[in-house]
Amino acid sequence: MSSTRVGLRLAACLLNISKARKKDVVESIARAAVADDNGQSRAQTTVLNIFSDYDYNRSVITISAPIDGLGSSVTAACIKAFSLIDMETHDGVHPCLGAVDLVPIYPLCGVSVSECARVARGISQDLAALVPGCSFFLFGKADEPEERGLAQKRKDLGWFRKDTVDVEAIRPDVGGGPSRRYGLTGIGASPYVMNCNCTLDTQDLSVAKEIASAIRATSKGGIPGVQAMAFPHNGKVEVACNVESIEDTEVAPPIDEGLEFFSYKILGQSYSYALPRSIESRIQMLAARHGLATAGTALIGFTPLECKRLAEYAILHNIGEFWKHRKGVFM
């Protein structure tokens, strides 16, 4: 059944929190998105997936709902996360800015990026009022008027480092100066961004950094829409990629470089993203030049159309905690 036929205008939040090593804490944050403290369900909201990485001590919670209700569900999950995560005791390989690290809002069906930006700004304002001491920077379409992307805003602000950062020197977009407990949270809106991480069978971080640099969209010959970093991970190293959906232009993707792209439309606007298997192939090719092999690739969550399809199913069947039921259900 199509979301258009039943009037669902869907968006998603891939909520990034700085906690992975306590499953009960992560799941309580996910549950807060779909039910209040009394167990009353939030209508038409679902948590599709929870991806937790022990080394990174970071989890990504995929929340989806109609655009008009997504903000309140995400706000509730963030409030719960702020109450349970203390950045002063946080330890993990992945750089992070805050207890609630990122709150990106993405359109799925019948929703514009501008609408997602309004929701993102509303979440930041609500949280600033409800959780004293929280601080936020805005990115993407929510960052008015410059609309700077996440990578640029992070560069402008610097990574949060609880032991060295001059907290008082940071000037957030919303809220007061960052506290040591909560850190700094990024909230924004853009076309859908996937996370695709490829592990190299080595402990040589310098090689992984070289490969990450080579595939970035900003590098000559890089992959359009890809941002990449390299980190130690489970005794090896990992090239972690953000894979952006980019607006189609008259310039075709460089398919002659062996890259494959998938195109889709929302409200008549066409977007394309590099396929994970294509990113993996490029990394494998670059690794082979160093005599290395890859040791697996993980897609964190879903592609945009998978996210849309599963959200439609979960909401229409009233499955709020979909992450518990996902296996064997409409895939």
**Which pLDDT tens digit goes with each residue over 155-199?**
887 654 445 556 667 889 999 888 889 999 999 999 999 999 999
**Planar angle of CA 122, 123, 126, nearest 5 degrees:** 85
How many structural domains are present in the chain? 2
* Three-state secondary structure call for residue 325: coil
Question: Does residue 71 sit in the same domain as residue 140?
Answer: yes
Q: What are the tens digits of pLDDT across the range 314-327?
A: 999 999 999 998 65
Same domain assignment for residues 205 and 291? yes
> Can you give the C-alpha Rg of the chain in angstroms?
19
pLDDT in tens, 69-126: 999 999 999 999 999 999 989 999 888 889 999 999 999 999 999 999 999 999 999 9
255: which DSSP letter? G
Q: Which residue has the tokens 């990122």?
A: 102
Residue 157 belongs to a domain with what CATH number? 3.30.990.10
Our measurement of the distance from residue 227's CA atom to the centroid of its chain's CA atoms, rounded to an integer in Å, reads: 12
Query: Residue 172's closest CA among 155, 185, 162?
Result: 185
Residue 29's domain spans which residues?
10-190+304-324
User: Does one domain contain both 40 and 161?
Assistant: yes
Statement to judge: residues 29 and 134 lie in one domain: yes
Are 243 and 296 in a shared domain? yes
* Structure tokens given for 6: 């039943």
pLDDT of residue 39: 85
Q: Which residues of 31-55 are buried (b: 16+ CB within 10 A; e: fewer)?
A: bbbbbeeeeeebebbbbbbbbbbeb
Give the pair of three-digit tokens for residue 116.
């997602």
Residues 265 and 313 in one domain: no
Query: What's the rounded mean pLDDT across residues 51-64?
Result: 96
| Residue 319 backbone dihedrals phi, psi, to 5 degrees | -105, 95
CA distance between the termini of the chain: 14
One domain, residues 273 and 210? yes
- Tokens 């480092």 found at: 161
Interstrand relation of 58-66 and 193-200 (parallel, antiparallel or unpaired): unpaired
Cis peptide before 132 (omega within 30 of 0): no
Mean pLDDT of the chain: 90
Q: Is 330 left (phi over 0), alpha (psi -120 to 50) or beta?
A: left
Domain match, 198 and 309 both: no
